[in-house]
Structure 1
Amino acid sequence: MTKKLYLPVLVALVVVLSSCGSKMRGLSSDYFTTNPVVLEAVGGKVPVTINGKFPEKYFNKKTVVEVTPVLKWKGGESRGKTAIFQGEKVQGNHQSIAYKMGGNYTMKTSFDYVPEMAQSELFLEFKALKGKKTYTIPAVKIADGVISTSELIKNTLGSANPALGQDAFQRVILDAHKDNIMFLIQQANIRTNQLSKAKDFKNQVQSIKDAVNKRISSVEVSAYASPDGGVELNTGLAKNREKNTEALINREFKKGDLADVVVDGKYTAQDWEGFKELVSKSNIQDKNLILRVLSMYPDPEKREQEIKNISSVYSTLAKDILPELRRARLILNYEIIGKSDEEISKLAKSNPRELNIEELLYATTLTENPAEQEVIFTKVTEYFPGDFRAYNNLGRLAYQAGNLAKAESFFKKAYSINAAPEVNTNLGLIALVQGDNATAQTYLGKGAGAKELNEIMGNLYVAQGDYNKAVSAFGDVKSNSAALAQILAKDYNKAKNTLDSIKNADAYTSYLKAVLGARTNNNAMVIDNLAKAVKQNPSLAKKAATDLEFAKYFTNVDFVAIF
């Protein structure tokens, strides 16, 4: 949108310049535009582009004019970059303005934002120089105030989610017990010296079945033949080894209380995978050549022949590798069942030393009471002082309670133990709250792997004025900061959805809804939510009363009544 300002005050400029010998006619008006039309804080700055025009027969050929943007407010001002223009007969390197044709010009400048700029005015100050004489012309106002919605990031940061040092608690842990029954070459009968293995395996299965906190998942017998010899021979061998081993295990199970345990049997005729694994782990000569043969020849008979052709190592294979593949594997898969939530919660209060560190950290997720969580985390720091997570999480609680100094202290303690991604992310958040974006970026650059990193990066991008990047970083996070980024990026539908989905809505949630209402011309949304915001946080009344987001409501009876 273009803003047209009539500037009769510039008549004074014409008069002064005419007194320098110019034949300029009187000037009734001039045009200036600013982009944006209403100035806006972006990343802690107030950038503005000013487009102006020197009209025809206006600019004295021997005159230099300095134009300086100045943002003024009650009790202060900030001066922008001066632009210098010169007449046609002036020797210099500045933009030359023709007397007959006049000329257009563009100025870009930026001011460091301060809160007082919300009620400010942007002026252009002119100074004309001809020879040794200087003429100061009255300033011309070209814009009103600064929209400071982006600065709300300093308020919404309080509801950001610091990174959590998560527990690794698993209620169900998968485990396995394995053993092998070995066979002689080209034999499937189970030798006497292997029978004890079946008995030991049976005892292991029985102990798992009898354990209160363990549960059998499956019992497997997997028989193999080594890849030397023909496929037909090896198929018969592997099949008979599986049959004999399964029968032996079933007989052992019937001796105990295991008759109901099902044994799943299978066989592999030629164990090329096992052969490859053993060769890879060995130090035998020409190991790489053997592995290359396996990759080049998929046909089992061709593989066997090529390997036998490597006569220098085949005797080693026959002695050290192949005998290990003539086996039946006994596999017991089972689950270790951890304590119930009720047990963990109870022990965390009554006897926390009975819990390991993962159980203690998990216990904090079973209560929503910050005081109870703090007690448990403190116990963890006493029992396990070498673990960073409890210190980090105590800092998280302090941050959420609004105690930034305490939070920073805990985060630094956690950092001294382990500079983990979560800790770096949280120290980055602290730096961001302190307004130190450069330090925040350094810490966050080491936060890869922290679950909450993207959310904190979203806050940083808002503070830097990169709103589209912020929206992308926030993703589906439902927070005040995420909604703020979406409003600033003009994604109003997404912002509304985010604001409506915030769990712990506060005064700034309501204020942002009011801003959204103003930008989408929803009067009821503005009035209702501003009233709610001011009720929740009376200090917002002063901000709202001068916030240019609500400029068109300043004379609205309902709006005024809120204050």
Structure 2
Amino acid sequence: MNILINHPKLKQFMNYCPKFLIACLIVVLGSCSTRNLFDTAGAPKVTVDKNPLVLHKDSVLFTLRATIPAGLVSEKNTYTLLPEYQYGEGALPLEEIEVDASDLAASGTSVEIIEKMSFPYLEGMDRGELRVKGLLEEVESGKSFTTPYIQLAEGIVSTPKLVRVGQFAPGESIPEVGAYMAYDEAFLNMAAYESAYYFSKNSAQINPSESNDAFKEELESVAAKGEPINTILIQGMASPDESSYIKLSSQRAQAIESYLKDQLKKAGYQGNVNAITFEMSQKEPDWLLFRHLLRTFNKIDMTEKDKYFDIIYGDASYEEKVNAIKELPSYKIFSRDKFDQMQLAQVAFMMAKDRRPDPEISGLANLYINGTAQGDELTEAELARAAEFNPGLKEKQILYEAMISKHGSALAYNNLGVVYLNQAHRMIKVSDKNNKVTEAMNLFRMSNDINESAAARHNMGQAYLMREDYGAAYIEISEASALSKDNPEFNSFNEGKRGAIDIIRGDYKLATLRLKEAPETATNLFNKGLAFYLAEEYAQAAVAFEESALSNMEFGYAFYGLALVAAQNRDEERLYENLQKAVQRSPYLKRRAATDMEFKDYFQEAEYREAIR
């Protein structure tokens, strides 16, 4: 024992022990002094206006009310409320509410707090809790006392997240998204033969070089067919490194018109050249071919290509855009390899011809799909027709790409973009999906540059939906609505998507009005029921959910909607019956039902657990 006491380190500790005990006593007494304020003043009272909390738009909004008793706040003390939303393995701290002497109406009075608060909704938050603790601090000494947490609200009702805008969960069927454009029947009876005539740089002189051998062969082929030519479409173009785009492209179109009038007879055309209508088409200036060549250029990556797209889609003048792209690192290689393909006039010969029957079109389309086509087996219109009755996305992609190689029409760019959206839907890797959506958006922009359409605007909106950029999606789909006023069928289709976004935006009444005008598909009817439900019009919600279920008995969301209404009506039999049907049809709904605060009153019921088992 003596050995232990005489140990040097132990003796040193014993010497300092009184000082240590005094310091501990001061801390304890200080804490007790701060804590005693609660014994005399009482604990603060804190409540919120919603329990459970409710999702609105993309956030959870609530009003916090608190009464801080007289005495807790003074010149000597401050009091801070520390709210947080606890869920899963962590917690989201919310805005602190600090009260000090400046908030007192008079010395020794209580403080009333009314604070509107919000926090972003994140997946997994449904079964969390909003809680708060208090922090009482002495101003001079910095001593503090923290109160235990108290629960303010349990969970979040996130029912608006059920809205269907083309998304799907694992285990559910993948919905088709987007709007394809279709050729008019009248155009399907025309046959277009297309070619391009190339010019030397900065020149509009006829160029007899070998680069135009293919054009001469096409001209001879058209003349040899012995069919009358109705119209010849001509579009002059120039590359960004040539001077005066407008002047040069116009001169090239005029040069080709004169050249064709002279050369058609020499090529053997038997018809009346003077009866042919020559139509000049010019975008001033036109970036369409530039974008196509950029998109298909494999010597620069997508990140570098996006720099070009950012410039050419900007608001600057043509000259400013040209100067900007010249500063890009890849400009030299791109201009060297591709710009000569923009120094041209595009020519399309429109012939009067009976339309091929669909079986013949289908047979010739297989040559493209199998990779054995020469490229002139089908006209652009016939390729569009073939793509319509080929259900596979890969087959559609090949046929629309063949259309673009013939002539970059608004239809071809839009429809290839729709194919890309649906391919993106089926991709597992997020980066691959995002890249494919970006490619689709570029195609929709190209389509709109040629001819702005409700379809391409709608599809751009759908692309933004896939990126969960709901604000941008709403703008695009609203533009589509304005463009489709004279097309009731498309307008109805577009309003269905617009109404669904209204639910996301929290405008439930407006959503009900728009969805009443939408086609009565299972998805639109469910969204209509959801809008009525969120607007607290439960009878009309039930009707829409019933109609959705009748439209497609395998659509689990319709039964989930009916379960929501049953829960509101306290109809346990219908609740369990419809919930069981819903979870049997969708693994996602099964997982959701286990945490959905709409059903919180039933979580402990054996029948509920059995229904979602």
Shorter-chain TM-score bucket reads: 0.5 to 0.7
What stretches of structure 2 of length at least 5 have no aligned partner?
Answer: 1-30, 169-174, 190-351, 366-375, 428-432, 485-489
The yes-or-no answer on 1:429 pairing with 2:462 is yes
Identity, in percent, stands at 22
1:366-381 residue pairs with structure 2 within 5 A?
370-371=391-392, 375=395, 378-379=398-399, 381=401
The yes-or-no answer on 1:498 pairing with 2:555 is no
**Secondary structure at the residue paired with 1:107?**
strand
Distance 1:522 1:386, change over 3 A: farther
Aligned to 2:178: 162
Distance 1:414 1:104, change over 3 A: closer
CA contact (8 A) 2:384 2:399 kept: no
**Secondary structure at the residue paired with 2:483?**
coil
Task: Tell me by how many angstroms 1:170 deviates.
Answer: 5.9
Q: 2:63 aligns with which of 31, 38, 49?
A: 49
Aligned to 2:146: 136
Q: Distance in 2 between matches of 1:471 and 1:161?
A: 22
Q: Distance in 2 between matches of 1:525 and 1:119?
A: 24
Distance 1:528 1:107, change over 3 A: same
Distance 1:48 1:164, change over 3 A: same
**Secondary structure at the residue paired with 1:418?**
helix
CA contact (8 A) 2:129 2:155 kept: yes
Task: Tell me by how many angstroms 1:521 deviates.
Answer: 2.9
Distance 1:113 1:172, change over 3 A: closer
Q: Distance in 2 between matches of 1:16 and 1:458?
A: 60
Q: 2:498 aligns with which of 457, 460, 480?
A: 457
CA contact (8 A) 1:348 1:363 kept: yes
Q: Distance in 2 between matches of 1:533 and 1:394?
A: 35
Q: Return the letter of the residue paired with 1:106.
A: I
Q: Distance in 1 between matches of 2:160 and 2:479?
A: 26
Mean Cα deviation higher: 444-453 or 130-139 = 444-453
What stretches of structure 1 of length at least 5 have no aligned partner?
Answer: 1-13, 174-335
Task: Tell me by how many angstroms 1:16 deviates.
Answer: 5.6
TM-score normalized with structure 2 length: 0.52
Count residues with an aligned counterpart: 373
Q: Distance in 2 between matches of 1:386 and 1:16?
A: 81
Q: 2:593 aligns with which of 516, 530, 544?
A: 544
Task: Tell me by how many angstroms 1:432 deviates.
Answer: 1.7
Q: Return the letter of the residue paired with 2:362.
A: K
Q: Distance in 2 between matches of 1:417 and 1:110?
A: 41
**Secondary structure at the residue paired with 1:104?**
strand
CA contact (8 A) 1:32 1:51 kept: yes
The yes-or-no answer on 1:73 pairing with 2:95 is no
**Secondary structure at the residue paired with 2:136?**
strand
CA contact (8 A) 2:50 2:153 kept: no
1:179-218 residue pairs with structure 2 within 5 A?
none
Aligned to 2:342: none
1:98-177 residue pairs with structure 2 within 5 A?
102-132=110-140, 133-153=143-163, 157-158=167-168, 159=175, 161-169=177-185
TM-score normalized with structure 1 length: 0.57
CA contact (8 A) 2:165 2:501 kept: no
Q: 2:96 aligns with which of 68, 82, 91?
A: 82
Q: Return the letter of the residue paired with 2:80.
A: E
Q: Distance in 2 between matches of 1:360 and 1:552?
A: 58
Q: Return the letter of the residue paired with 2:500.
A: N
1:400-439 residue pairs with structure 2 within 5 A?
402-403=425-426, 405=433, 409-410=439-440, 412-419=442-449, 420-421=452-453, 422-439=455-472
CA deviation digits over 1:446-486, x for unaligned, max 9? 43325343333333333333333333333333424443333
CA deviation digits over 1:152-189, x for unaligned, max 9? 3477645585233243236999xxxxxxxxxxxxxxxx
CA contact (8 A) 1:467 1:489 kept: yes
Q: Distance in 1 between matches of 2:39 and 2:595?
A: 46
CA deviation digits over 1:336-392, x for unaligned, max 9? 9x98xxx85434424569987667656777x6x733x87467545525642232443
Q: Distance in 1 between matches of 2:497 and 2:598?
A: 26
**Secondary structure at the residue paired with 2:514?**
helix
Task: Tell me by how many angstroms 1:126 deviates.
Answer: 1.0
Mean Cα deviation higher: 504-513 or 144-153 = 504-513
Distance 1:379 1:482, change over 3 A: same
1:265-414 residue pairs with structure 2 within 5 A?
344-350=357-363, 361=384, 370-371=391-392, 375=395, 378-379=398-399, 381-383=401-403, 385-396=407-418, 399=421, 402-403=425-426, 405=433, 409-410=439-440, 412-414=442-444
CA contact (8 A) 2:51 2:152 kept: no
Distance 1:437 1:155, change over 3 A: closer
Mean Cα deviation higher: 503-512 or 527-536 = 503-512
Q: Return the letter of the residue paired with 2:415.
A: N
Q: Return the letter of the residue paired with 1:167.
A: Y
Q: Distance in 1 between matches of 2:65 and 2:565?
A: 30
Q: Return the letter of the residue paired with 1:145.
A: G
**Secondary structure at the residue paired with 1:370?**
coil
Q: Return the letter of the residue paired with 1:403.
A: R
Q: Return the letter of the residue paired with 2:92.
A: S
Task: Tell me by how many angstroms 1:560 deviates.
Answer: 0.6
**Secondary structure at the residue paired with 1:541?**
helix
CA contact (8 A) 2:420 2:439 kept: no
CA contact (8 A) 2:41 2:70 kept: no
Distance 1:426 1:171, change over 3 A: closer
Q: 1:525 aligns with which of 574, 590, 602?
A: 574
CA contact (8 A) 1:42 1:465 kept: yes
CA contact (8 A) 2:417 2:441 kept: yes
CA contact (8 A) 2:165 2:500 kept: no
**Secondary structure at the residue paired with 1:497?**
helix
Q: Distance in 1 between matches of 2:566 and 2:145?
A: 48
Aligned to 2:289: none
CA contact (8 A) 2:411 2:447 kept: no
